[in-house]
């Protein structure tokens, strides 16, 4: 038997009854993230029926439409709350939550920290393109300080959110960051995130040249991918760098990797204990 190519895997998982073409711009990194997600599910051998993809609103939210899993496209910022309900109702399911940076860090920021605190057994995949893409290029909590967007034409005054620090601080079990330029590494991260118990956060840096790049020195998609190549450094190397060298660099890799049981596991244990004591 010949080796299965990437394309053949993708075709097993796409919905052929969905009317293509998809909504993403040429050069967008979101398709690459979706590709790594599908390949990691394939590699882990998880049956399609055991996967639920829950997505928020925006460009990343639309990814759920195209893949042949159980898919739920929710309200803006609330994907994690739906995912929490699904996981608690059916703990055997692999629940993967796809969100954008605006989705997860702004309107959904409260849900993100509480999902992490609760350590619910969901994989949160945050596609960070530093901008609100679908609504036309307004600033997001991940827009870098000084960057230009439709809602800060004179430069962003707010500091940018560090997703990794936020997720770690709130108590997530597994926290990692990758980029769509470093595809193999991102795929490895994704596999680990899905396999771990508890709450996993994967931040995937994915360029939006249409809304972000063209206003911020990156005229073409190629410019954006070159930036990712230059800016991203493995966390191990980043830690050895001087303050000067760290400027404009983005550490990638695994930041937190623990095996604490998820909320659903702890709940089921409590329930077993209570019922043994004399429940119905």
What residues line the site for another protein (CB under 8 A)?
15, 17-19, 48-50, 52, 54, 64-65, 68-75, 78-90, 92-93, 110-111, 114, 267, 270-271, 274-275, 279-280
- Give me 201's structure tokens: 């956060």
How far apart (Å, rounded) are the C-alpha atoms in residues 271 and 280?
A: 11
Q: How far is the CB of 43 from another protein (least distance, A)?
A: 20
Nearest Cα to Cα of residue 126 among 210, 201, 191: 201
Closer Cβ to another protein, 114 or 260, answer by number: 114
**Residue 82 CB-density burial (10 A; 0-12 exposed, 13-18 middle, 19+ buried):** buried
Residue nearer to another protein on the CB measure, 94 or 173? 94
Nearer to another protein, 82 or 255 (CB): 82
Distance of alpha carbon 62 from alpha carbon 113, whole angstroms: 24
Tokens of 20: 């293509």
Pairing of strands 138-139, 131-132: antiparallel
Smallest distance, another protein to C-beta of residue 220, A: 30
Q: How far is the CB of 256 from another protein (least distance, A)?
A: 21
Q: How open is the CA angle 232-216-32, to the nearest 5 degrees?
A: 50
Task: Decide whether 220 or 271 has the Cβ nearer to another protein.
Answer: 271
How many whole angstroms separate alpha carbon 268 and alpha carbon 89? 11
Q: Which of 15, 212, 11 is nearest to 100 (CA)?
A: 212
**Cβ distance to another protein smaller for residue 222 or 274:** 274
Q: Which is nearer to another protein, 222 or 270 (CB)?
A: 270
CB of 206 to another protein, least distance (A): 22
- Which residue is it, tokens 């939006």? 208
- In the chain the first and final C-alpha atoms are separated, in Å, by 54
Q: What is the dihedral of CA 230, 235, 236, 238, to 10 degrees?
A: 60
Residue 255 CB, nearest approach to another protein (Å): 24
- Give 130's contacts (C-beta < 8 A, 6+ positions apart): 101, 140, 142, 143, 144, 147, 160, 208, 212
Q: How far is the CB of 96 from another protein (least distance, A)?
A: 13
CB of 94 to another protein, least distance (A): 9
Which CB sits closer to another protein, 60 or 160? 60
């Amino acid at each position: 038997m010949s080796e299965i190519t990437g394309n053949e895997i993708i075709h097993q998982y796409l919905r052929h009854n969905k009317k293509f073409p998809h909504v993403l711009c040429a050069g967008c990194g979101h398709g690459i993230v979706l590709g790594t997600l599908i390949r990691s599910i394939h590699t882990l051998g998880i049956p399609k029926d055991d996967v639920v993809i829950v997505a928020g609103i925006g460009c990343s939210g639309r990814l759920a439409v195209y893949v042949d899993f159980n898919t739920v496209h929710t309200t803006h910022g609330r994907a994690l709350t739906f995912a929490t309900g699904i996981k608690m109702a059916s703990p055997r399911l692999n629940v993967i939550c796809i969100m954008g940076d605006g989705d997860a860090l702004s309107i959904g920021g409260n849900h993100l920290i509480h999902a992490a605190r609760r350590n619910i057994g969901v994989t949160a995949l945050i596609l960070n393109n530093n901008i609100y893409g679908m609504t036309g290029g307004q600033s997001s909590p991940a827009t870098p300080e000084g960057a230009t967007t439709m809602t800060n034409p004179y430069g962003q005054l707010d500091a940018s959110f560090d997703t990794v620090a936020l997720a770690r601080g709130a108590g997530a079990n597994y926290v990692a960051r990758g980029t769509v330029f470093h595809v193999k590494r991102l795929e490895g991260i994704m596999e680990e995130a899905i396999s771990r118990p508890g709450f996993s956060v994967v931040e995937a840096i994915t360029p939006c040249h249409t809304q972000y790049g063209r206003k911020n020195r990156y005229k073409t998609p190629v410019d954006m991918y070159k930036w990712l190549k230059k800016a991203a450094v493995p966390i191990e190397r980043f830690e050895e760098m001087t303050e000067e060298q760290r400027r404009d660099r983005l550490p990638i890799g695994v930041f937190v990797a623990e095996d604490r049981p998820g909320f659903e596991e702890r709940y089921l244990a409590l329930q077993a204990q209570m019922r043994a004591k004399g429940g119905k």
